[in-house]
Structure 1
Amino acid sequence: MTDDIFATSVFFTLAIGGNDLGAFHTCTGLGAEVQIEQFAEGGNNGFAWQLPGRITWTNITLTRPVTADTTKVARWLDQVIQRVEPKDGEIVALKPDLSPIVSWQVLGIVPVRWQGPSFDPTSSQAAVETLEIAHEGLRPT
């Protein structure tokens, strides 16, 4: 078994428009869906044509415990609030030794939601932040 097939712990880095937003512990929503339109041709009763339509991209959600990188997200959001402009970015999956596993170019990123940490002194849970982004497409790099 080779060591590059399975990674037991993966980290994800996110950069948007040249801004390094740091490392995240989880990344969900890397996906696309092709809308299919069925077309039944007259005289052909054996099947219906499956015609591909628009591609929709799912929102990507990244989470991590609060770190010094939390201020990077806050600064980026402050810039976006001034002027919302879609920017390209990159998500890189890293092994625990920080060597890259795979990376994706993310096109036309805009923020959807940022959820800051909840601080509860009675809980032993880490304070976590969540960033959700919408985009116009993914490309492997």
Structure 2
Amino acid sequence: MSVSNANQRTNYVTSNRFYVEMESSITASFSECAGLSVKIKQETFSEGGLNDQRRVLLGPAEFTEVTLKRGMTDSLLFWDWMNQIVSGNCYERRNINILVFNQAGETMQCWTLKGAVPVGWKAPSLQADGNAVAIEELTLAYEGLSVTKSSSGVSVTSRDVLGYF
């Protein structure tokens, strides 16, 4: 097999190879990350006499909330962060990195949620006759978004690293 074919096989990205970092260190393994998007507000209007086109004015960016889901653990890291907000003691904002890897373990993209703050936390549903994994959810609002090829934190070379999916 040629080197080019080997590189193509390991350079694709699947949605199950990601990590979540808080302040450049992996703090927990997540099974799902949903809602990451940005939309630019726009306003359109027509100019008199120009019936074949319209003008588009761009406004500020809107960032949707991101929801992270993970299996319950004995770590209270995210609840403690949320509880600071609930109690009014501190409104600590943090930068959160969401990294996606290719099959070779190289960082393909890093989305940084700038100034993230928890705005929701949800405990898992508990059922006496159930046997599903108990999943907790953390919802984050953030002030800005940057996208880079890598973060200052991790590179993945082994399946034994915390957070590998």
Distance 2:58 2:76 in 1: 42
Cα separation, partners in 2 of 1:2 and 1:98, compared to 1, 3 Å: closer
Aligned residues, how many? 139
Q: What code does the residue aligned with 2:67 have?
A: T
Cα separation, partners in 2 of 1:6 and 1:97, compared to 1, 3 Å: closer
Q: What code does the residue aligned with 1:31 have?
A: S
More strand by share: 1
Tell whether the 8 Å contact from 2:10 to 2:102 is kept in structure 1 after alignment.
no
Q: Pick which of 78-87 and 31-40 moved more.
A: 78-87
* Alpha-carbon offset, residue 42 of structure 1: 2.0
Residue in structure 2 matched with residue 77 of structure 1 by the alignment? 82
Tell me, yes or no, if structure 1 residue 11 matches structure 2 residue 18: yes
Q: Secondary structure at the match of 1:64?
A: strand
Residue in structure 1 matched with residue 60 of structure 2 by the alignment? 54
Give the structure-2-normalised TM-score: 0.71
Tell me, yes or no, if structure 1 residue 122 matches structure 2 residue 129: yes
Cα separation, partners in 2 of 1:11 and 1:122, compared to 1, 3 Å: farther
Residue in structure 1 matched with residue 9 of structure 2 by the alignment? 2
Q: What code does the residue aligned with 1:56 have?
A: E
Tell me, yes or no, if structure 1 residue 138 matches structure 2 residue 153: no
Q: Secondary structure at the match of 2:137?
A: strand
* Alpha-carbon offset, residue 83 of structure 1: 1.1
Cα separation, partners in 2 of 1:6 and 1:92, compared to 1, 3 Å: closer
Runs of 4+ deviating beyond 4 Å: 17-20, 94-99
Q: Secondary structure at the match of 2:40?
A: strand
Q: C-alpha offsets along residues 73-118 of structure 1, whole Å, 9 cap, x if unaligned?
A: 1232234442114333322234688653421111121111001223
* Alpha-carbon offset, residue 137 of structure 1: 1.8
* Alpha-carbon offset, residue 19 of structure 1: 7.0
Distance 1:34 1:137 in 2: 13
Q: Secondary structure at the match of 1:75?
A: helix
Q: What code does the residue aligned with 1:23 have?
A: S
Give the structure-1-normalised TM-score: 0.82
Note the aligned Cα RMSD (angstroms): 2.5
Tell whether the 8 Å contact from 1:64 to 1:129 is kept in structure 2 after alignment.
yes
Question: Identical aligned pairs, as a percentage?
Answer: 27
Q: What code does the residue aligned with 1:28 have?
A: A
